[in-house]
Structures are given as C-alpha cells and as structure tokens.
Structure 1
C-alpha cells in the first residue's frame, strides 16, 4: 500500500511540475503532435490607423518574404539523406528538401507529386509513371527518370542493409530484387527508365501496395551515382548543409550543429516560388520552448513532440498562438527484448532470426503478459497526457481501416492478475524481501532503458518502474541516454537489455505492420520471432485476396490478436499531436501524419 501511495504521489508531482513549468515566465516543456481543428482567426479590431502590411493581413493575401522559426527539443543525428536517415528530427529537414513521386491527401489517398500521372496494368505487377517536366535539383541539374531508377536501385543494392539502411520494404517486392541484392546480377530489372520522363516499376508478384511502394523520396543520381553504397552515409551530400541536394521547396543551407538548422527557399521550385524566404529550426530545451513561443522568439512547435499536454490550456490562452490537436499517427511502447542478436550478426549488420539468442526471462510469455496487467495505462493518459491521448492495444494507427480494438486483449490494470501469472510462471518471492526470484531461485532484476529528449517518456519511466515493482519485480531503472546513442544500443542489441521505451511515428501509406514487427525487420527491436505473425502479414499482402480490403482487414484482425497474446511490446498510449504556432503564420494545413505539409504555401503576416 505504501508503494501504491508513493506511485500516485509521483504521478501528481510530475503532473504538477509540468503545469508549473507551463505557467512560469519563460519556461515550459514540450511533447505532443496532433489535431484536426484549427482556428485561423486574426484580430481585425486593432487601431484603425493600420499600416499597409496589416491591411494585407486583413485581406488574407499571401505576402512574399519573411523568416519562420520552428523549435525541436532534440538535435537531428545528422543524416540528411532519405535512404539512410532514421529519426523524426532529421525528417523535419528532409520534409522541406526532398520529394516523392506521389503524395497523400487528408483521406490518405495517393495523389500526383513528382509524377503527374500513372497507369497500373491489369494484374497489378507494373506501374508506369509520367514525371513532371521542368523539375530541377537544388544545384540546377534536371530531374529525370534516371534519378528514380538510381534511388530504388541504391536501396536494393548489396551492402545497403550493412551500411545501416532500413528501408528495404520499398524494394523487396520488385522484380529481380533478390538476385540483385545477392550480387548474382549487376542489372536491376525492378525499375526501368523508359525515357527522361517515364519510369516503370516491375513487381515480381501482383502488388497490393503498389502506390505506397513507389512513394519514396528521390535522391539525385548525378550526386551519388558513382559513390559506393557503404560510403553514402558519410558522404558530404548526406551530412553537410549546403551540399544536401533535393527537389523540394527549400534548400538546407546552414547548420550550427546541435543548435540551429537553416533552410532557404528554392526560388526555382517547380510548383512555384515559396512565399517564405527562410525556415530556421532551433534546438531548444523543452523547459524553455513554450516561453519562447509566448515571447515570439519561435513561431511554431510541432513534430515530433509538439506542445505538452499539461501546457495545453496555457498555450490555448495565448492570444497570438493558434493550436491544432489531432490523434497521433503512432504510439509509445514498452518493448520486451525477447531475443538478442549474436555479436557476429551485429558486426556484419545481419538480422537473422535463426541465430538469435533467447533472453531467458523476457522470452517467457506469461512474464510479458503479467507486466502488461501490472501497468495502469489509463493513469498515464489521465495524469501525464491530461486526457490528450488514448490507450491502444493494437500496433496499427487508429486512422487506418485495419485497426481493430476488438481483436485484442485489453490488459486492463489488474495487479492481482499480474501476480497470478508471475506465480504460474514460477517467479515467486522465496526470501520475503518483497521481490520475486527466478524459477531457479536466483535474484531477478529487470533493467528498464529509455532515451532523453521526450519529456513524457522520461516522466513515464519511473512510474512504469514503480508499477512493476508493485507486483514484486525488482527494476534497475537505467540512466537515460541521448537518443542517438540509445538507438545504436537498441539496434545492436546490447545483450543485457530487458525492457526499452520508444515511440513510433507510423508510415501513412499502408497499415501493413511488417516493417516494424516482421521477424527480419530492422526495427523489430524486440527481436520477436513468431511464424504465425509472419504468415498472417504475408497472407494480407498476397494476390488475389489481398486486393480485397475486407479480406486484408480480417487477416490484420487475426494478426492483432496474435500480437496481443504473444505481446512483444506493451503499447502504452497514443498521445494527441498538439501543434502550436504564432498567428502570423498562415495557410497551415497539416496532414493526419505530419505538420510539415506544403510549406511552399506558408506565409507570414508581419
């Protein structure tokens, strides 16, 4: 009982701390990302002797010029290349600089982008896209079909995964992928340039996700074409401001590492010259971020962490700041390290489930289920998110047709059930010290690892540790690591890790979860190896049934049930995205998955 009282006191103190930070003069903390309603009213009741810019604001006419300053709480790791970047912070740069052949609208339907049109053959094995003419790269070179061929060929190349690439899901279904990736042939037949402005993708089988698979951002062949695949991550055009080349509305021109990242407009942008002159990203501690938004020193707080839920009302009451809130296209989780990779596989970059070594305690299903019952996730949503989020039990975005809450075990808070499952698994307290021992009678200590940079996640870590200790699991709450170092350890499978915290922003192209939870997926950090799971995900994509959405929904319902029972991770919550921006910023129109939408249309009223 004493532990229980302490736990809710901790939640209350953390919640109060966030509120106090939000109400202080210059400080606050930051951390959400969504909303569908935006209030774009402007104040037209000021002094009647307005100057000319104010009149332009009143009429709503876009104005050329101006600098917009956004804030991120964590610096990008520094890889500004679509085929190798890994973090949402780097995406905040790439969203402005690079583009794909197709994009999506608010209903997640695919629309033309760098490709003006496309035609898919009857059996869904080929798609031929007509490219926009007159598009140029930031360095003035013409954009052509050869750039498209090169981009997908690079992802399919031997050595791509070993060099740190994780986006093979875009190429594995292409014709000839295995032969090319294995080095059996030097010709890649999956993507072919018919002429400068026509490109055809050939798939080995009828492809259910054909438009999603061609939606990857394109990189320039004339920059990287002669560079070895393992050298691209360290190439100047991947790392250095002023050398990163895209086709997007802004160019990445300057960087003061870990402090400021500058994007200048691409005046020759093919959709038309952007209104803004410049977008500047500042790296700002969450504790001061909202104070800077209030003072006008920064203009917007958006992806990936946004406005903290505890600060919602404070920000909403700022006369010059607009708020948009929408459900997050992702979730936060506590993962179980069920298996570890071998040292040899880590060294070579291989992800081979046949070689994995079980993590004895976390590989026990009853232990994982017990931990799920031990955590009061509703308390996390109510007290840390202040109701700006929801508990979810299925690892598919709630906005997708495939999400099925009814297919899963809800794992409602039940510490007695948690204790019963641990007893059944043989984890009991044999020496009356308050903590359970292993079935072999050995001391049982479970380590919990988490990164810095996301204040809600940092606040959740000690609460999760206490929930688990309340049912007799001794927890070693590790010191948090900076995100870049944390992801490296998580990827390399430091062999003593048990529990890890992370959040996923999901892809919007299709609900297929195999990129995160397939046994061989690079992002399957739990190293979950479940043949039934793999088979269901495969069936959902197979011809001809996979072209029937109802069939796919049934397969994914079954898959969500398997995930929920086997439980490679406990989904903690999906927090709402809360975007805050100065009212001088106009024509903001976020997508369900991102604030950074059509920045060439953004303009400021000075």
Structure 2
C-alpha cells in the first residue's frame, strides 16, 4: 500500500498550491445542515467592521468563482452550477423552501390543492415586474411549463422534463398530436392551475420551477431558445429576481445590478460582481479584501479551512453538502444516430464490455479506499456515502446499501470470479476471452480536488490488476458535451451532483430514460421502484416511500452504475462587512435583497 499512500501525500501537497473547485451541478439546488452565521464582531482589518444599526443602502460586493459559467442563462436550459450563480439572483419560482425544506410562498402567495391531489391552483403576487418593466402574470407560468413540454425541447438540450411529464396532456402535446397543452391553465392574470393525470405526491415540488418571460420568448422556436440573445447575453437576460444581469466580460467578470422595482422591496446593495479567478489566488483575495465571499459551487478548500477560519475579518460557515462526487461507469453507449437525433432509447444502446459486468464494477469499488481520500484530500471535511440520495433527506438509508470498504482481496476475488485474470504475468488482468483489457478514466478540469482524485483512483485500480488509461482532462463545457453524447469509447467518468432539495425522488438522474443518466444504466426494476415511490395512494404515506427508496438504494448499491466517492462539506467564507447572510441548507444565496455592507 506504500505506493498509493505516497501518491496521496503528493496530492495533498499539491492541493495547497493548485486550483480547487467543487463539482459541476446538473440540478438547481442542494441541501445540507446549515450553521447559523456567527455574529459579526468589531474588527478594523480589511473592512471587517461590525455592522451597527439598521441596514444601509448602497455598495458593491464581489464574489469569486474558479470556473466561468458556460453561458446559458436560461432556467429551462442551463446545466452548470456556475450558471446558477447568476440565475439564483435573477430568476424565481412560484414557491420557495425554508430551512426544514418545507415549501412556502414566493411568486405565488398562496394555493389550494384539490382533494385527490390532481390539481393545484395558485394565486400569484400582483405587481411583480420583470427586469424590463413588463408585468409578471399567469401567462408567463403557462409559457414556461409549455416550453418544457414542447416537442423538440429535449432535442434542443433540455433536461427538465420531470417537471411536466405528469401533467395532463403532456404525451399528446410533446408528440405533436395536438397544439393545445391542457396541463397548465391561466384562470386569469394572477391565477394559474396545474392539472395532473394522476394524484401527485410531489405536487409542490413540481410547480416550483423558475419562470421565464413569455413576452421575450413567445415567438422564439424551442430549438432556437438556447442560442437566443435573451439566453446568452448580459443585458438581455430577463427575470423577476432582485438583481439584473447587466454586464459581462466573458470568462472574467459578471455584473449584477439591483432591480429597484423588486416586488419584495428594493435591494440594499447596488451591485454584485462575480470574478473568475484561479483558486490558487482566491484565498489571498479574500484575505486582502479584494473579494467579499467564496460560496457555491466551489467553496473554501478543505485544506485551507484553518487558514480562512483564522482570518479575523472573515466569517466561515460549514455545512453538509446536499450532493456527492461520483465515479460513474458507462454501462452502455448510445448509437451515432440516436446522438444525432437527440434520442434516448435504451432499446438501441450498446453494452460497454469493459465495465458492463456487475462483478467488475463491484471489484473496482472494493479496490478504492474512499475513506483515505476523505481523510487526506478533504482533511476530514466530508464523508463516504453509498446511496445517491442526500444524507439529510428522510429517505436516505445507509443500512440498505453495501459499504464497499477498502478490501483489495475481495476485489481480486470478484475479478477472478468474473473471469478477468492475468494470463501473461505482466501484472494486468486480461478479459475472459484473453484479450488485453484497458479501462479509460475521463474527467474535467476546473475541480482540482477531482483532478487530484483521478490519478489516485487510477492507481488503486491498477494495484488491483486493471490497466488504466488515465486520459487528459477536458475543459468542462467540452467534457459535458462528450459525456452527454456518449457515442464514444468512454468507460469511467468523474462528476459531481448537487441534488434538488424539493424531494428525494431520484428521477432526473437515475431512470433509464433520464438525460442525466450519463452511464446509460438500463434497469427495469430500478425504474419501477422509482415509479412505485411516487404512485398514489400508497405513496402518500411517507413510510411506504421510505420502504421503496430503501429497496432502490439497495439495488443501486448492488448494480453500482456509479461508485459514490464522497460527500464533501460545503465551506463558505465571507467578509464580515457583508451582512444579512443566512445560507439555506441547499445553498449560500438566500434573500440577497436583504444583503448589505457596512463600510
């Protein structure tokens, strides 16, 4: 074991001087156990002065991201957490969540659900203005959901069909059989009704999606929406949120200015600036006051926790992440034709012989010491998990899973059982047919912890006799495109997810037909368990859902479409001159119209 220990130590040393980032996010939200921000103390260092009296209007704050947003600033099409750092200030949904993840009012002030949970009627706030001064109405809500349900949405790159699939008339509308979409109806300017085919267990989550403006996109074909100026360009992105996205120097700086007519009250801050800077210099900028906060998706590196915690003018907040990093297996690949047409049809998939055997995936899990990675690279600021449901949800069941503790002997035993043995004494195992067996690992740039993990994972696997082709990392945008298309020879991919906080339902990531099911795991039992956990009337009982999700987590752990590496703690840092910070369990940005600075 001395070989991998040396690599771990080198990785730790390199971590102190390298770029560091957290996972790309495909979903909007995450969860964690938040800590109450400590009260600011009087301090004269670098603007760390205690706030006194009432909040003050005016001022600019600067946040730092280590990776530039890909550039899709449209809630129904964006994919990355870096883009969410803009959209979380500019766009809003009908409902919000509190720290206990209970849904409450937002753009909708109240609602009524019918007796069988097939309809919900929401009364909208009146007088809400889009950033360009137009009135927000129920027509915008209808348009948003109709766009997600439209034919061509998936082909255009949309991945959020889970919000519309259960609505009345979705199949007929999405297939082009009809031009009418019955699932969402504007009763009047400020009343909207959602109608579902069946009683809906997650009805509040499904109506909480961010809304886009009809008057901007009404005449834009769905296939052109991702490339429309109102999706891409600062100054043309329009939301109802407390800040407008007004300027950008692409890949360098992104500027948000207050929306003075914001419906919850004019924001105190004049401006919020995002700077794109290497993680290697980010902490120095926080220390000298050039930036005011480090938040999602990267946070403060675990290796630097003590240093940042020692900055007298900086407040540190640590909370459990509502997500995880994974080592995914490309169990199947799509055909060229399906990639070209945007089709996700499991019937057409081709099995990947390199990692298609379950025993091989399980052997790889036993071959990797995940706890050593948490202890050495995360400095203990994280945990090993085995189920792809956020630890904070009532549905998470560690006991239902296989722990896959580090066990090289067990890994060797499983590989032998699967027929992968070293037939030529070169130290590497051959396939059951006696052919050379090479497994490739693919990963993106922009997350130094993941970049540090990649060679360690490769070393663990090679010590188990698996010859690894550790490929050069790709820039995230290019990586995600190839990961999504997957008509390639990829075997293993590294990625991270920040999970939605609305419900533990794993739909969207792990069903066979989900676009984000990047490993193309095709399992009917899994799909059925996910469906059962949402099927009334039994699913209205949380105990029933717990049972189904426990079964599903056990199946996932056994089939192992991905090895969950760890859940890294979120560590936020902000200058104490920045007041009103009150992170939610799923993210740092909460009520930014109430943020203010004491100079």
Where on the TM-score scale, by shorter chain, does this alignment land: which range?
over 0.9
Deviation of residue 36 (structure 1)?
A: 2.3
Residues 294 and 573 in structure 2, CA contact (< 8 A), matched pair in contact too? yes
Matched, 1:464 2:462: no
1:41 corresponds to: 39
Are 1:285 and 2:278 matched, yes or no? yes
Distance change in 2, residues 1:275/1:58 (3 Å)? closer
- Shift of the 498–30 alpha-carbon distance from structure 1 to 2, 3 Å rule, reads closer
Match of 2:74 in 1: 81
1:446 lines up with 2:439 in the alignment: yes
Structure 1 segment 245-260 matched on structure 2, within 5 A: 245-260=238-253
CA distance in 2, matches of 1:233, 1:430: 52
Q: Which runs of 5+ in 1 are unaligned?
A: 22-26
1:372 counterpart (362, 365, 368): 365
Give per-residue Cα distances to partners, 1:109-168, cap 9 Å, x unaligned.
Answer: 000000000000000000000000000100000000000000000000000000000000
Structure-2 change in CA distance of 1:255 and 1:468 (3 Å): same
Cα distance in structure 2, aligned partners of 1:9 and 1:295: 34
The counterpart of 1:549, out of the listed 531, 538, 542, is 542
CA distance 1:364–1:60, shift in 2 (3 Å)? farther
1:215 aligns with 2:208: yes
1:5 maps onto 2:35 in alignment: no
State how far apart, in whole Å, the 2-side matches of 1:108 and 1:514 are.
18
**Count, aligned residues:** 591
Counterpart check, 1:604 vs 2:591 = no
Give 1:593's match in structure 2, choosing from 563, 570, 586: 586
Corresponding residue number in structure 2 for 1:393: 386
Residues in 2 aligned to 1:153 and 1:283: alpha-carbon distance in whole angstroms: 35
Q: State the shift of 1:43 in Å.
A: 3.4
Partners of 1:338 and 1:577 in 2: how far apart? 31
CA contact (8 A) 1:114 1:132 kept: yes
- How far did residue 455 of structure 1 move? 1.1
Deviations 1:533-572 (A, max 9, x none): 0010000000100100000000000000000000000000
**Alignment partner of 1:62 is 2:65:** no
> What per-residue deviation string (whole Å, max 9, x for no partner) do you get for residues 557-601 of structure 1?
000000000000000000000001111111111111110111111
Match in the other structure for 2:13: 16
Contact residue 35 and residue 578 of structure 1 kept, 8 A: no
Distance in 1 (alpha carbons) for counterparts of 2:60 and 2:553: 45
CA shift for structure 1 position 361: 2.2
Mind listing any 5+ residue stretches in structure 2 that lack a counterpart?
A: 24-29
Shift of residue 404, structure 1, vs aligned partner: 0.2
Q: Which residue of 2 aligns with 1:112?
A: 105
Q: How many angstroms does 1:28 deviate by?
A: 7.2
The whole-number CA distance in structure 2 between the counterparts of 1:534 and 1:45 is 56
**Counterpart residue number, 2:521:** 528
Given that 2:388 and 2:564 are in contact with CA atoms closer than 8 Å, whether structure 1 keeps it comes out as yes
Deviation at 1:46, TM superposition (A): 6.2
Which residue in the other structure is 1:150 paired with?
A: 143
2:117 counterpart of 1:124: yes
Secondary structure of the 1:516 match is coil
Task: State the partner residue of 1:178.
Answer: 171
In the alignment, the residues of structure 2 paired with residue 426 and residue 106 of structure 1 have an alpha-carbon distance, to the nearest angstrom, of: 50
2:406 matched residue in structure 1: 413
Tell me, yes or no, if the aligned pair for 1:29 and 1:290 is still in contact at 8 Å.
no
Give SS of 2:423's match: coil
Give the C-alpha shift of residue 44 in structure 1.
3.2
Equivalents in 1 of 2:165, 2:149: separation in Å? 8
Residue 12 of structure 1, CA deviation? 1.0
Tell whether the 8 Å contact from 2:37 to 2:581 is kept in structure 1 after alignment.
no
Query: CA shift at 1:58, angstroms?
Result: 4.4
Aligned equivalent of 1:346 = 339
Match of 1:24 in 2: none
Q: In structure 2, how many angstroms separate the alpha carbons of the residues matched to 1:72 and 1:103? A: 25
- Structure 1: distance between partners of 2:133 and 2:337: 44
Change (3 A) 1:45 1:384: closer
Q: Distance in 1 between matches of 2:372 and 2:487?
A: 31
- Cα deviation digits, residues 344-379 of structure 1 (max 9, x gap): 000000100011000012110000000000000000
Alignment correspondent of 2:555:
562
Report the TM-score, using the length of structure 1 for normalisation.
0.96
Q: What is the rounded CA distance, in whole Å, between the counterparts of 2:288 and 2:454 in structure 1?
A: 32
In structure 2, what is the Cα distance between the partners aligned to 1:205 and 1:579?
Answer: 42
Work out the CA distance in 1 between the residues paired with 2:62 and 2:434: 58
Contact 1:35 1:576 in 2 (8 A): no
Rate the CA distance shift 1:28–1:485 in 2: closer, same or farther, 3 A: closer
Aligned to 2:493: 500
How far is the alpha carbon of 1:427 from its aligned partner?
0.4
In the aligned structure 2, how far is the partner of 1:377 from the partner of 1:40?
Answer: 32
Contact conserved, 2:20 with 2:449, CA < 8 A, in 1? no
**1:60 Cα offset (Å):** 4.1
Please, which of 374, 381, 387 is the counterpart of residue 374 of structure 2? 381
1:60–1:458 distance in 2 versus 1, CA, 3 Å: farther
What CA distance in whole angstroms lies between the structure 2 residues aligned with 1:148 and 1:321?
Answer: 40
Q: Helix, strand or coil: the match of 1:263? A: strand
In 2, are the aligned partners of 1:29 and 1:288 still within 8 Å (CA)?
Answer: no
Is the CA contact 2:378–2:568 (under 8 Å) kept in the aligned structure 1? yes
